[in-house]
């Protein structure tokens, strides 16, 4: 099945230096994916003609299509047309139709067209003009023996209109087929990236469909993608590769909904089972409570939240020493006592306590590492788990709350 390889070049110093976020490249990438074009590179270059020209020349040696956004305006720092002309060895020529369109547009707006606007009608010799129905700067396509270099304005509204109406049809015709790429995200929780990689090793070496990983803090997404001549075939390929992935790691896959957090998935289950929680946190500044309370707008499972250090402890726990001053068995006993007290005094389904150390120097070489004890009391049994770290940084708090969410889910599963 014929396909094309592509790369995207974003031109603009303001984007290179972070003053403006490049949303264009992400949007273009999605459009290319949907028509079956393989995107291999993205590059951002400042307003410097020699550097932009060099990136274009490199792209012409390795890609079938280069899409450049930005640098087609009327000012001195709009250097894309010069860079493309120099890279492709084509002189810039005045496109009379483009110039006339410019004049008509300025006349319609009642604005005088200054001389510098004329350069927007300059395009490389023999280039294909791309009309701009919503702006002043036209785009163009320069076809070389190896590559098609496509230049579009950087204004998102103009770029999107021109890409959809002119560039995508051009690329489809160039491929000679209606190939599509479909993808899915399989969201996992409670399993590390290296473990998934080991289990999916053979699948991840395939070229179509493909399997890839995207790791976050305590969370790994498995990305599967398939390229085919029609959507139905691509979806069938995804079904087949997903089934193979699930054989290997299915117990850890909780969702195929993009961006659905594990806490949202869990709180939905808790709502369906009418499960409520009373919670104590000593060393996480209430991170777990916040994640549970905000996961799902229609339901919060929390009946009571106690975060030590934010306010005085309830009378039932008022005389407890700080966890940092206790040894490990005492921290465990404190967690069990807190979980039981919380459940009994609130009538919650579960009393849950995270009791751990919070020193800022924990984990530093030569110093004793911290710990956190988790206790879960459901009125019948008390489950405890030792988590071999504590601390005050945000990363540690996410890891601790992830472990608590995982234990909550295991308890939920055990009730079935």
- DSSP string spanning 283-299? SSTTHHHHHHHHS-TT-
**Interatomic CA distance for residues 85 and 68, integer angstroms:** 13
At 306, which helix (H) or strand (E)?
strand 302-307
| Tokens linked to 82 | 């010069």
Residue found under tokens 């560039």: 167
Beta bridge partners of 215: 220
| R_g over Cα of the chain | 29
Judgement on whether residues 111 and 211 belong to the same structural domain of the protein: no
Question: Last residue of some domain: 199, 227, 255?
Answer: 255
Question: CA-CA distance, 373 to 415, in Å (whole number)?
Answer: 23
Q: Print burial letters for 319-353: b (CB count within 10 Å at least 16), e (below 16).
A: ebeebeebeeeebbebbbbbbbbbbeebebbbbbb
Choose one of 199, 221, 255: the last residue of a domain: 255
Give me the percent of the chain exceeding a pLDDT of 70.
93
pTM of the predicted protein model: 0.73
State pLDDT tens for residues 217-229: 778 999 999 988 8
Q: Cβ of 95: how many Cβ atoms within 10 Å?
A: 19
3-state secondary structure of 314: coil
Least confident interval from 34-48, 186-200, 309-323 = 309-323
Does one domain contain both 189 and 237?
Answer: yes
**CB atoms near residue 84 (< 10 Å):** 28
Q: Are residues 213 and 240 in the same domain?
A: yes
Same domain, 302 and 355: yes
pLDDT of 284-325, one tens digit each? 889 999 999 999 888 999 999 988 766 566 666 765 556 677
Domain containing residue 114: 5-175
List phi, psi (to 5°) of 386: -95, 125
Higher pLDDT, 119 or 115: 119
Q: Which two tokens stand for residue 307?
A: 């975060």
CA distance 400 to 276: 20
Q: How many domains does the chain have?
A: 3
User: Could you tell me the CATH number of the domain that includes residue 237?
Assistant: 3.30.70.2860
CATH of the domain at 343: 3.90.950.20
Residues 321 and 387 in one domain: yes
**Residue 152 phi/psi, 5° resolution?**
-130, 155
- 209 and 274 both lie in a single domain: no
Mean pLDDT of 147-160: 95
**Domain shared by 145 and 26, yes or no:** yes
- Strand intervals (E) in 132-179: 139-143, 148-152
Residues 222 and 301 in one domain: no
Residues 232 and 213 in one domain: yes
Tokens for 115? 């001389």
**What is the spatial distance between Cα 38 and Cα 63, in angstroms, rounded to a whole number?**
10
Q: Are residues 125 and 82 in the same domain?
A: yes
Residue 12's domain is classified under what CATH number? 3.40.980.10
DSSP 379: S
Judged against a pLDDT cut of 90, whether residue 255 lies above it is answered with yes
Q: Are residues 160 and 190 in the same domain?
A: no
| Residue 150 and residue 48 share a domain | yes
For range 95-117, the mean pLDDT: 81
- Residue at a domain's end among 255, 275, 296: 255
- Residue 177, pLDDT above cutoff 70: no
């Amino acid at each position: 099945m014929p396909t094309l390889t592509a790369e995207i070049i974003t031109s603009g110093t303001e984007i290179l230096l972070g003053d403006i976020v490049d949303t264009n490249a992400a949007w273009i990438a999605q459009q290319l994916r949907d028509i079956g074009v393989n995107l291999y590179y993205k590059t951002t270059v400042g307003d410097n003609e020699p550097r932009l020209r060099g990136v274009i020349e490199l792209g012409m040696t390795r890609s079938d299509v280069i899409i450049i956004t930005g640098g087609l305006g009327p000012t001195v720092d709009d250097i894309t047309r010069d860079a493309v002309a120099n890279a492709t060895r084509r002189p810039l020529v005045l496109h009379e139709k483009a110039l006339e369109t410019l004049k008509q547009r300025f006349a319609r707006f009642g604005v005088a067209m200054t001389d510098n606007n004329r350069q927007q009608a300059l395009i490389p010799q023999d280039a294909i003009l791309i009309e701009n129905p919503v702006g002043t700067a036209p785009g163009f396509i320069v076809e070389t023996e190896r590559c098609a270099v496509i230049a579009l304005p950087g204004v998102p509204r103009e770029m999107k209109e021109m890409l959809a109406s002119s560039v995508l049809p051009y690329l489809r015709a160039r491929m000679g087929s209606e190939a599509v790429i479909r993808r899915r995200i399989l969201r996992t929780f409670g399993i590390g990236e290296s473990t998934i990689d080991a289990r999916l090793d053979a699948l991840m070496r395939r070229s179509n469909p493909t399997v890839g990983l995207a790791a976050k803090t305590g969370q790994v997404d498995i990305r599967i993608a398939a390229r085919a001549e029609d959507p139905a075939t691509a979806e069938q390929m995804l079904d087949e590769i997903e089934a193979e992935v699930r054989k290997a790691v299915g117990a850890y896959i909780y969702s195929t909904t993009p961006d659905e957090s594990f806490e949202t998935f869990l709180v939905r289950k808790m709502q369906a089972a009418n499960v409520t929680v009373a919670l104590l946190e000593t060393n996480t500044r209430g991170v777990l409570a916040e994640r549970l309370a905000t996961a799902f707008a229609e339901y919060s499972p929390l009946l009571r939240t106690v975060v030590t250090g934010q306010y005085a402890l309830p009378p039932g726990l008022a005389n407890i020493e700080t966890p940092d001053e206790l040894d490990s068995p005492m921290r465990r006993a404190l967690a069990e006592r807190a979980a039981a007290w919380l459940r009994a005094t609130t009538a919650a389904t579960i009393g849950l306590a995270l009791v751990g150390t919070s020193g800022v120097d924990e984990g530093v070489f030569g110093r004793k590492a911290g710990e956190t004890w988790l206790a879960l009391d459901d009125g019948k049994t008390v489950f405890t788990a030792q988590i071999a770290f504590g601390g005050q940084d945000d990363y540690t708090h996410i890891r601790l709350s992830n472990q608590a969410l995982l234990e909550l889910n295991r308890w939920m599963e055990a009730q079935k």
